Structure 1
């Protein structure tokens, strides 16, 4: 049955089927051809895997991100960051990184961050004579923060798959996300300085206050979301609902950039995105169930422990595995497939599963900027009108920085676990 499952999986994947159909189809064929079980189990597992209360946070966070993107928040965030940092050498590149970090704390999606920020900051960087490929590479690399800085859809998927607290995962993701943001800013600064890109004029105190006044509602949204979760006032799902209400009120009645006729498109786009994620989760549930029935998690655990009983060797092997998987598989799908397999091994070695979730997410986030499946690359290629090969010399520098970040996040667990312990 396992042989049928994996043969069907790779055949369907090679044929180019969407990952949800690949997961569900291979599971269906494995059950139909390799066992005498009732096929109704497929529908039951898909439904149960996508109907949990925790998963309700996903469509609400997607909708909140779309509301705030359409409501002008991304532009106000960029203007505020530019006023504060634009006068530094490579300031606009640093603004791109910071803006991605702020928007990540709203959207929970890497691709959404790349699209929303890239559409505004890349033309601005080109106007200031930044090299086109450098601008695109900066946004693509920084947008990976969308799946690390909470609220992160990927962390929600891990929490469901590994049965961990979403609130604890959100707490654990904040400091690593800020750490990655700072290192990417430093890399962008030094590359821009070496290239000789001209900074903007330094803003006056009056201009800074004006930019802050215009952006204050946008800046308050991530504070509201994370503060309500960290303070124990809301679950992740309830905070997502608050974010939708806040985004609607600000976009329609305060900024007035969302018109009533825009709402059907915003709702439709949000439904399509959320449905895609939930179908993947549902299909991965039956895929994982088949693996569990065939004791594959135990086989994987024995294979890893057979190599070495050291948790440090295990973590190093997991980093290599996830970086390779991230190159060929979408982060969300990889998370729901691999988390049930790897988390039990991590737990048996005494690794905190909240910390392990951050390690997995940080690794798979790098896959967002590595060919051939790097979603962020294709998003910014469209915005900047460049090709992936043109960005490679800059991407390699950012990639090296991200690898160093991964090592720190992996082997310094306090970075991830400090906030969960302080806010317990």
Structure 2
């Protein structure tokens, strides 16, 4: 009856942490006959993890960047550097959105901040509206695989409860797959541009004066991604230390140097950051309690035994996993999916000798597709509202880009070295020695 009641609560739209927490308490009390206080022990264990400090700090940094003039300045520089290339404007959108999502951790923020600026530029350059809508809706999620994106950290934190894994490994592993997806999307935009000429459109020329002016405009913010990424890969600091540096640096630059942030806006940024962080913390904490109950009940082992009786091939399992994760992405947001699904699939995938880091990249690549698949696809709803278009119009526009991302997902799934190659040059701490790459 308790689990039936929880199911009804889920149907009526009660908050996810109540459903997960209720299931965890019910498992401990009614099934295992153990004190439900174990859930709070798991919650404390989560908050005491040093790497978890990185999450609120990166969230804070992302909101600060989103509320400043960084989106406009970043697009100006990207356009000056790349706008003259064939398919230059789509490439500007792909790279700009990827970088911005990597730091904000949310495709919705990227669509609002970047899409609003790029949509008029695409219309002015005579791109078809359905192409523009599809591209801007889709590329909002591309930064999910680039450090220091929040889902990478979240997967690392949760998976580390099941298997030895550090967040820095996830940061390194996402680089090549992330670049691959951007390149595949760019190739499609080139193909589309060749097949659908735009009368009256003119490709801009490369101007050093504009590059220099755009660089000077973003001079204070430009070193940040190189400093953070280079520092992590070079072993100068860990993910929590990088998050602390990023938060302090962005706050000082935007509030005291560029003066894009006043006290009122800062208070609002802190409020929204705390809401986001609290939402993630309580969901993940309750999910760890439920995971503890599942492990005690040997749920992963039972699922593996059931699967193993029908699936013996690692590659068949990966195919089934992708199909399953696509449905997960259709029904859950990426943070909920990390909290609920990761603890179950990590031990099962390990039985098929699938590296947990590779599994994480496959998992997140699938969840990228979830941003643009109904019924939950957040990017679809945000674009529909932001661009004042009907939901079916947005959905139809993303279909070609969805197919391109599926092709990328297949490559990432069945070529593990795309995720694991750079890890061959890492130390036991998961950090790259640059001299090993020479």
* Greater fraction helix: 1
Among 312, 326, 330, the residue aligned to 1:327: 330
- Shift, 1:23, TM fit: 1.2
Partner residue in 1 for 2:385: 382
Partner residue in 2 for 1:288: 291
Rate the CA distance shift 1:189–1:13 in 2: closer, same or farther, 3 A: farther
Partner residue in 1 for 2:359: 356
- Shift, 1:32, TM fit: 4.4
* Structure 2 SS opposite 1:307: coil
| Residues 189-208 of structure 1 aligned to structure 2 (within 5 Å) | 189-197=190-198, 198-208=201-211
Rate the CA distance shift 1:189–1:388 in 2: closer, same or farther, 3 A: farther
Q: Partners of 2:7 and 2:194 in 1: how far apart? A: 45
| Residues 400-411 of structure 1 aligned to structure 2 (within 5 Å) | 400-411=403-414
Q: Partners of 1:232 and 1:309 in 2: how far apart? A: 40
Q: Partners of 1:383 and 1:146 in 2: how far apart? A: 20
Partner residue in 1 for 2:146: 149
Cα deviation, 1:208-238, whole Å, max 9, x if unaligned, reads 2222332344332111111111111111111
1:36 equivalent to 2:33? Answer: yes
Partner residue in 2 for 1:266: 269
Rate the CA distance shift 1:320–1:240 in 2: closer, same or farther, 3 A: same
1:52 equivalent to 2:49? Answer: yes
Q: Partners of 1:294 and 1:121 in 2: how far apart? A: 51
- Shift, 1:174, TM fit: 1.2
1:227 equivalent to 2:230? Answer: yes
1:169 equivalent to 2:170? Answer: yes
Cα deviation, 1:226-282, whole Å, max 9, x if unaligned, reads 111111111111101111112112212332211233211111111111111111111
Rate the CA distance shift 1:393–1:88 in 2: closer, same or farther, 3 A: farther
Greater mean alpha carbon deviation, residues 321-330 or residues 72-81? 72-81
Rate the CA distance shift 1:386–1:414 in 2: closer, same or farther, 3 A: same
State whether residues 105 and 150 of structure 2, in contact with CA within 8 Å, keep that contact through their aligned partners in structure 1.
yes
Cα deviation, 1:293-346, whole Å, max 9, x if unaligned, reads 211111121122222222111111111110111100111211222222111122
Partner residue in 2 for 1:413: 416
Q: Partners of 2:222 and 2:121 in 1: how far apart? A: 21
Among 50, 68, 71, the residue aligned to 2:68: 71
Tell me the matched-pair count.
Answer: 421
Greater mean alpha carbon deviation, residues 11-20 or residues 273-282? 11-20
Greater mean alpha carbon deviation, residues 84-93 or residues 159-168? 84-93
- Shift, 1:35, TM fit: 4.9
Cα deviation, 1:164-206, whole Å, max 9, x if unaligned, reads 1100110001111111111112223333454444355324221
Q: Partners of 2:230 and 2:323 in 1: how far apart? A: 34
Partner residue in 2 for 1:24: 21
Greater mean alpha carbon deviation, residues 230-239 or residues 10-19? 10-19
Q: Partners of 2:117 and 2:6 in 1: how far apart? A: 39
Greater mean alpha carbon deviation, residues 145-154 or residues 171-180? 145-154
* Structure 2 SS opposite 1:218: coil
| Structure 2: runs of 5+ lacking an equivalent | 428-438
| Structure 1: runs of 5+ lacking an equivalent | none
State whether residues 56 and 274 of structure 2, in contact with CA within 8 Å, keep that contact through their aligned partners in structure 1.
yes
* Structure 2 SS opposite 1:266: helix
- Shift, 1:63, TM fit: 0.6
Q: Partners of 1:193 and 1:75 in 2: how far apart? A: 28
State whether residues 134 and 391 of structure 1, in contact with CA within 8 Å, keep that contact through their aligned partners in structure 2.
no
Q: Partners of 1:119 and 1:50 in 2: how far apart? A: 37
1:299 equivalent to 2:302? Answer: yes
Cα deviation, 1:384-406, whole Å, max 9, x if unaligned, reads 11122102333111111111101
Q: Partners of 1:304 and 1:39 in 2: how far apart? A: 30
| Residues 386-401 of structure 1 aligned to structure 2 (within 5 Å) | 386-401=389-404
C-alpha RMSD over aligned residues: 2.1
Q: Partners of 2:278 and 2:112 in 1: how far apart? A: 19
Partner residue in 1 for 2:183: 182
State whether residues 371 and 377 of structure 2, in contact with CA within 8 Å, keep that contact through their aligned partners in structure 1.
yes
Partner residue in 2 for 1:114: 111
